[in-house]
Structure 1
Amino acid sequence: MSKLQEEGKVKMTNYRWTICTMLFLATTVNYLDRQVLSLTWADFIAPEFHWTNSDYGTITGLFSLFYAVSMLFAGKFVDWIDTKKGFLWAIGIWSFGAVLHAFCGLLTAGITTDEWTFSFMGAREAIATVGNISMVVNVSVTLFVFARLILAIGEAGNFPAAIKATAEYFPKKDRAYATSLFNSGAQIGALLAPLTIPFIAKAWGWEMAFIVIGAIGFVWMGFWVFIYHKPEKNKKVNAAELAYINQDDAADAAAGAREKDENAGKKVSFKQAFKYRQTWSFAVGKFLTDGVWWFLLFWIPAYLSAVYGLDSTQSAPHVFTVYAISMISVFAAGYFPAYFMNRKKLDPYQGRMRAMLLFAFFPVLILLAQPLGGISVWIPVIIIGIAAAAHQSWSANIFSTVSDMFPKHGVATITGIGGMAGGVGSLLINQSSGILFDHTANTHMKFMGFEGIESGYFIVFCICAFAYLIGWTIMKSLVPKYQLITDM
């Protein structure tokens, strides 16, 4: 033992941030993969397959449903198989599903014409000769729904695995910050998507956009195999860092919530999980707010096209700006709860809820997006960006309430339940939005001074504006104060 070690002055390693970087990269890939469709359907896919807003809404809505159901089981799967293997399975499946989208055109051409081709261009030419448009629509939508099913099953594992890894590698006081950092991969993925995907599709075809972006996940898997190990078994985590990671053990032990050796490998049933008000609080919060983010992710390019006439390459700077502004959440999500905990001496739950109430007020600004859009398209873009930043700040903290109050062996399961609830909320808003937009466009419906599809978007913006305040009120009613789960 060296003299420095004997004096207890060994410098703490920081391997936990390497893990956080991997979680960030996985989340970035996750959001890149799910955004390929939203950035290619209007300009490239819809003209080929004759899709309407309702068709696109059906595909995105069912994706949300698949994601919701998969989240319910993904959490239990990750708790069962553990973090490392769970993440490998998740990203492997969703990367395969992402690439699978590229072959929907080939299959549609073969099914509708009985002439099979292995050329993407040949498939497009064959589909153009089909007189039965409804057959092309039905077959293509069905195939894309299947590809989205595979994508959803895999992507559902990302957040349960990432939240579990965060709980394993970070003390409670750092989890919201770590979560906000890896969760910023959602914004980075959303930032990179409009700068890459439309241009890949325009240069090489929409199919190559799915293939190129989908392949990135397989590269991530190669690094994860060698990088991730439990902190207590990781040779790159020294004793000082391990002690820092486990600093909550003493406090949890005093509260009777320490995970003892007999809890290692312990599983949590759904029946057991749903008996806690904390589970319902988390689920309700996700149900009411996740759909807002998914709506922005799936429909903002279409909004800029329908209302302002911008195609996918023209709207790239605007979509980029939305998610660039949302990067504010990387700072806000960690700073405000830490401020309330450290300066105001609030417990973790109260600190997060105070911060989440602050974040819940900002989406109300989205009510001004449509009224001020006549001045400049950049005004709604900026407002939507602020709402997106508020959502991501909210999201990082609502996730952290789970790891704050539940023992580690139940974190992924509870996260999965909340994810399922969020997916159901997303299904409702995406499916209904597609139907609403076609209805308002076809009937020239008027609402609050807006006509046609613009009135449809204003209606959805009204829903998005108040979702967080309603969610926060219900969450606070269900769990008014900090309560550690000690009997799971």
Structure 2
Amino acid sequence: MSFLQSFCYKQTWAFAFGKFMTDGVWWFFLFWTPAYISDVYGFSSDSSTAMLLIFVLYAITMLSIYGGKLPTIIMNKTGMNPYAARMRAMLIFAFFPLLALFAQPLGSYSYWFPVIIIGIAGAAHQSWSANIFSTVSDMFPKTAIATVTGIGGMAGGIGSFLINKGSGMLFTYAAGTTMADGTEVEMTKDLLKEGAQYVRPAMEFMGFSGKPAGYFIIFCICAVAYLIGWVVMKALVPKYKPIVLE
């Protein structure tokens, strides 16, 4: 199967879209969590508290070691084919990132809540990732697995670039208010009442202002990305249909 021929199959597009929607979530959490802890809670990356939070977060993600086992359990209990069992397992894992919707609101009570939630979402991602890679070997002949996996990796890289680049632009916009003297501040209502000259007020979203509002928006995107990816994958390849090359 040639590189271009791979794009003739819905199975390729299903895998690529699933990677496009979800790889960026993992890389967003990897790249931006230290900045989030600093921006929202004021802990620099080299502080003992920040390092403890990051350590706990990654310790939680190691729960994903059980993620690859679930499809086998489903197959043994239901007799499903491998693809159907993996899709069911991926649907289960797709619900866990929805907890990210509560990361920012609960973070108002303690910084431990968003860290634990991000850890759970990270574990769910790794479990999802282990299974989405396996859908390629379920459907494609051995000679095409590397090609299709590479296409999916490319799609995931594009998605990762877009969410990380977009997040940086959003955070800059959200908190990038500038006083007349060029000082960057997060505009408050008190400053507005005093008639301070500014270029752009802090963005507000769902009760949050400035960078926290920007983080909340991205958390919402990360929360629903897996369900969107799963629905599109299921629509493109509703049933197990291995490709046979003639």
Q: Give the TM-score category using the shorter length.
A: 0.7 to 0.9
Name the amino acid aligned to 2:45: S
Root-mean-square deviation (Å) = 1.0
For 1:295 and 1:426, the matched residues in 2 are separated by: 7
Name the amino acid aligned to 1:310: F
2:119 pairs with 380, 385, 407, which one? 385
1:279 pairs with 6, 9, 12, which one? 12
Report which of the two structures shows the higher radius of gyration computed on alpha carbons. Answer: 1
Deviation at 1:323, TM superposition (A): 1.3
Deviation at 1:446, TM superposition (A): 0.8
1:432 pairs with 166, 181, 188, which one? 166
1:320 pairs with 52, 55, 71, which one? 55
- Residue 435 of structure 1 aligns to a residue whose secondary structure is helix
Which consecutive residues of structure 2, in runs of 5 or more, have no partner in the other structure?
177-200
Deviation at 1:455, TM superposition (A): 0.2
Which consecutive residues of structure 1, in runs of 5 or more, have no partner in the other structure?
1-267
Alignment correspondent of 1:454: 212
Alignment correspondent of 1:336: 70
For 2:3 and 2:68, the matched residues in 1 are separated by: 30
Deviation at 1:313, TM superposition (A): 2.1
Alignment correspondent of 2:221: 463
Alignment correspondent of 1:482: 240
Alignment correspondent of 1:302: 35
Residues 426-452 of structure 1 show CA distances to partners (whole Å, capped at 9, x for unaligned) of 111011111110111123111100000
Structure 1's consecutive aligned runs of 4 or more residues displaced over 2 angstroms after TM superposition are none
Deviation at 1:407, TM superposition (A): 1.4
**Aligned residues with identical type, % of pairs:** 64
The yes-or-no answer on 1:376 pairing with 2:110 is yes
Alignment correspondent of 2:198: none
2:82 pairs with 333, 341, 348, which one? 348
For 1:345 and 1:398, the matched residues in 2 are separated by: 20
Name the amino acid aligned to 2:92: L
Deviation at 1:376, TM superposition (A): 0.9
Greater per-residue helix proportion: 1
- Greater shift, 304-313 or 455-464, is seen at 304-313
Alignment correspondent of 2:187: none
Alignment correspondent of 2:191: none
Name the amino acid aligned to 1:453: K
- Greater shift, 349-358 or 311-320, is seen at 311-320
| TM-score, structure 1 as length reference | 0.45
Equivalences, count? 220
For 1:472 and 1:445, the matched residues in 2 are separated by: 32
For 2:239 and 2:55, the matched residues in 1 are separated by: 39
Residues 111-164 of structure 1 show CA distances to partners (whole Å, capped at 9, x for unaligned) of xxxxxxxxxxxxxxxxxxxxxxxxxxxxxxxxxxxxxxxxxxxxxxxxxxxxxx
| TM-score, structure 2 as length reference | 0.87
Name the amino acid aligned to 2:210: G
The yes-or-no answer on 1:359 pairing with 2:117 is no
